[in-house]
């Protein structure tokens, strides 16, 4: 059975790195657009009377608490300034989506999103999650890839860095779970789903009545995660199977835990991983 | 290799190395390496990939506050920042996600600070970022008149147990309601 070899994004070129990068950026941009809109909708937390007030966060560093850069910090990260940053990030992501990650705009818009991610990391003491980290890795890789010459070792290094971070990330996540008695017994997923933050009451109640299913689910997650780096060495059908399993895993996390941003951020890396797998093959 | 390419490769190599180091138990690292990679000003750039493991988060955290009158009478405890029930569209649109994560991160950071400063004067904890963040948040809440001072509490709850993470000091309000 012939594998999909063409993507109608970069002309007639079959699954090139350029095509994969466009698709990866599109997926990540969609997720970033949703996340920034969510934060703009729930903006009260970033105001001076919210848990992520800049008035408190600025006390962490000398540069922000006083001195010549403090005023600039206030303008950039204060209640109005940070809203402008989020709007700028949303606009960049929206433009990437509307133009289907046009190669002419890819570098500047990806650089804008990367900048917003970095500034958000500087400003916000709390609230960042794995999806934010993966977005940072992805957009940094894309920007660095696009600033170095075509065919250079540095470009190859960018792609393999991203691949390594994704593979290492999944493996570490799975290994940490395998080392945990709570995960091996299945209690972990029941406990997490019992919380308000990442929980789902109906699934929690159902898994309480079916602990063996919970245990099987935990083992499926652990084995998938530690096996993920095999995507680089398995024959294409099996590598594709791992990626499909990844999509299903993150979709499940979105449905039962509300982690919609993880679905976009991690699945966004898959097109580039696939391009690398095919190139290496 | 031209300078730009070298710089890019160097950045990626350092980033990858920091990621590996970050996942080594801190007790196994030289102190200087642990300080730079795990606790330095830019340590937030180093990804943490072991989500929910080895100890998954199984607790809900609740922030409560009460006002104290000038005569020293304490009012009732009231909860703040309680998230709305989950909507059916949460898999696609979840604006409460950040607030939920912030609440958990802040409560856990506060618990760690409190544990680390158990032998220190109370004022040391009161100058930490998590304490100040929560204090600032509490002081902006609606007040029960007349409110001379306020106090907050962080509760950690699971389906089977309740723990008090922290009971704050009593902090005078700027303007008595």
Which tokens is A54 given?
């800049």
A126–B contact, CB cutoff 8 A: yes
pLDDT in tens, B129-172: 999 999 999 999 988 777 899 999 999 998 888 999 999 999 99
Joined together, the tokens standing for residue A53 give 């007030």
Distance from the B20 Cα atom to the nearest Cα atom in chain A, whole angstroms: 9
At A41-83, the pLDDT tens digits run 999 999 999 999 999 999 998 888 887 899 999 999 999 999 9
Q: Chain A contacts of B134, Cβ < 8 Å? A: 51
| A126 and A51 Cβ atoms separated by less than 8 Å | yes
The predicted model scores a pTM of: 0.92
Q: Is the ipTM beyond the 0.85 threshold?
A: yes
Question: Looking at beta carbons, which residues of chain A come within 8 Å of B1?
Answer: 153-154
Cα–Cα separations (whole angstroms), residue B2 to A148, A158, A161, A277, B6: 10, 16, 19, 28, 6
Distance from CA of B38 to the nearest CA of A (A): 15
- Whether B19 contacts chain A with CB within 8 A: yes
Q: Does A153 touch chain B (CB under 8 A)?
A: yes
A247 reaches B (C-beta below 8 A)? no
Residue of A172, A223, A252 best to disrupt the B interface, most CBs of B under 10 A: A172
- Note the pLDDT of residue B120: 76
Whether cis (ω within 30° of 0) applies to the bond prior to B54 is: yes
Asked whether the predicted pLDDT for residue A94 surpasses 70, the reply is: yes
Interface touch B5/A144, C-beta < 8 Å: no
Residue A8 pLDDT: 34
CB pair distance less than 8 Å for B133 and A51: yes
Share of chain A above pLDDT 90, in %: 87
List CB contacts (< 8 A) between A162 and chain B.
none
Whether B3 contacts chain A with CB within 8 A: no
Q: Residue A149: list chain B partners with CB under 8 A.
A: 5
User: Is the minimum CB–CB distance between A255 and chain B shorter than 8 Å?
Assistant: yes
* B98 touches A: beta carbon within 8 Å: yes
Minimum distance, in Å, between the CA of residue A2 and any CA atom of chain B: 33
Which residues in A lie closer than 8 A to residue B56 (C-beta atoms)? 180, 182-183, 188-189, 191-192
Summarize pLDDT for B59-105 with one digit per residue, the tens.
999 999 999 998 989 999 999 977 777 889 999 999 999 999 999 99
- B58: nearest CB among A165, A177, A194: A194
CB-based contact, B100 to chain A, within 8 Å: yes
**Do the Cβ atoms of B49 and A173 come within 8 Å?**
yes
Question: Among residues A258, A270, A254, which one has the least CA distance to residue A170?
Answer: A270
Assess B24–A contact: CB distance below 8 Å, yes or no. no
In this model, does residue A6 exceed pLDDT 90?
no
- Asked if the Cβ–Cβ distance from B5 to A191 is below 8 Å, we say no
Whether residue A13 has pLDDT greater than 80: no
Q: Return the higher-pLDDT residue of A200 and B1.
A: A200
Tokens for B169, please give them.
């000091």
Q: Quickly count: other Cβ atoms within 10 Å of residue A184's Cβ.
A: 15
Per-residue DSSP letter, B120: S
Per-residue model confidence (pLDDT) at position A62 = 84
Mean pLDDT of A121-134: 95
Q: Is the pLDDT of residue B176 over 70?
A: no
Question: Of B17, B16, B47, B21, nearest to B32 (Cα)?
Answer: B21
Whether pLDDT at A15 is above 70:
no
The three-class DSSP label of residue B177 is coil
pLDDT (0 to 100) of residue A280: 59
What the block records as the tokens of B176 is 């008595």
Contact with chain A for residue B159, Cβ under 8 A: yes
- Residue B81: its pLDDT value, please? 75
- Chain A positions in Cβ-Cβ contact with residue B25 (cut-off 8 Å): none
């Amino acid at each position: 059975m012939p594998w999909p070899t063409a993507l109608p994004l970069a002309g007639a070129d079959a699954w090139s790195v350029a095509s994969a990068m466009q698709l990866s950026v599109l997926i990540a941009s969609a997720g970033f657009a949703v996340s920034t809109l969510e934060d703009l909708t729930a903006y009260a937390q970033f105001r001076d009377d919210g848990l992520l007030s800049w008035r408190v966060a600025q006390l962490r560093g000398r540069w922000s608490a006083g001195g010549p850069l403090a005023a600039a910090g206030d303008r950039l990260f204060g209640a109005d300034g940070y809203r402008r940053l989020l709007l700028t990030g949303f606009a960049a992501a929206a433009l990437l989506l509307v133009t289907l990650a046009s190669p002419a705009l890819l570098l500047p818009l990806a650089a804008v999103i990367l900048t917003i991610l970095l500034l958000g990391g500087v400003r916000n003491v709390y609230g960042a999650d794995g999806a934010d980290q993966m977005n940072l890795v992805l957009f940094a890789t894309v920007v660095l890839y696009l600033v170095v010459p075509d065919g250079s070792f540095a470009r190859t290094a960018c792609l393999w860095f991203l691949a390594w971070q994704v593979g290492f990330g999944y493996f570490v996540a799975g290994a940490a779970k395998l080392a945990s008695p709570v995960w091996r017994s299945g209690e972990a997923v029941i406990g997490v789903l019992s919380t308000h933050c990442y929980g789902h009451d109906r699934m929690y109640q159902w898994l309480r009545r079916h602990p063996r299913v919970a245990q099987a689910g935990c083992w499926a997650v652990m084995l998938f995660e530690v096996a993920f780096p095999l995507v680089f060495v398995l024959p294409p059908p099996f590598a594709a199977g791992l990626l499909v399993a990844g999509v299903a895993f993150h979709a499940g996390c979105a449905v039962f835990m509300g982690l919609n941003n993880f679905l976009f951020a991690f699945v966004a890396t898959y097109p580039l991983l696939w391009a690398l797998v095919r190139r290496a093959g | 290799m031209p300078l730009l390419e070298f710089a890019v490769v160097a950045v990626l190599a350092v980033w990858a190395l920091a990621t590996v180091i970050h996942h080594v138990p801190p007790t196994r690292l030289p102190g200087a390496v642990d300080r730079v990679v795990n606790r330095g000003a830019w340590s937030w750039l180093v990804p943490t990939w072991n989500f929910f493991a080895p100890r998954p988060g199984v607790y809900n955290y609740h922030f409560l506050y009460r006002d104290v009158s000038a005569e020293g009478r304490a009012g009732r405890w009231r909860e703040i920042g309680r998230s709305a029930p989950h909507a059916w569209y949460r898999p696609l649109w979840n604006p409460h996600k950040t607030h939920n994560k912030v609440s958990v991160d802040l409560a856990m950071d506060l618990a760690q600070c409190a544990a680390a400063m158990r032998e220190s004067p109370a004022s040391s904890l009161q100058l930490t970022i998590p304490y100040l963040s929560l204090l600032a948040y509490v002081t902006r809440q609606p007040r029960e008149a007349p409110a001379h001072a306020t106090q907050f509490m962080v509760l950690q709850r699971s389906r089977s147990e309740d723990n008090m993470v922290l009971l704050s000091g009593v902090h005078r309000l700027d303007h008595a309601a």
